[in-house]
Amino acid sequence: MITKQVVNISALQYAKVAAAVNVIIAVPYAFLLQYSMPEPWVKEHLWLFILAVAVAFIVVGSLFCLIGAWVYNIIAARIGGFEFTIAEIGQN
């Protein structure tokens, strides 16, 4: 078995993956969120509301992922990154 460390995360790649995941999460979330809104404008402009929530979800989520990857890289450079163990598995 071999122990390795993740010492650097590509912040842009991490943010892109998070944006893709957030797209999948944001649309159903916006549909559910509309039922908790008492304002009638939400029902009148449902697609605008869903689009606004989805865009906000994607932008804020990607921004936090960029910041998180940047902070991780700074900390990992000083004290080391996540450790994981890998093992070779024979081909059958």
Would you list the domain boundaries of the chain?
7-81
Contacts of 5 (CB under 8 A, 6+ apart): 76, 80, 81, 82, 83, 84
**Structure confidence by residue, pLDDT tens digits, 14-73:** 888 888 888 888 778 777 776 776 667 666 777 787 788 788 888 888 899 899 889 989
Q: What is the pLDDT of residue 71?
A: 92
pTM: 0.65
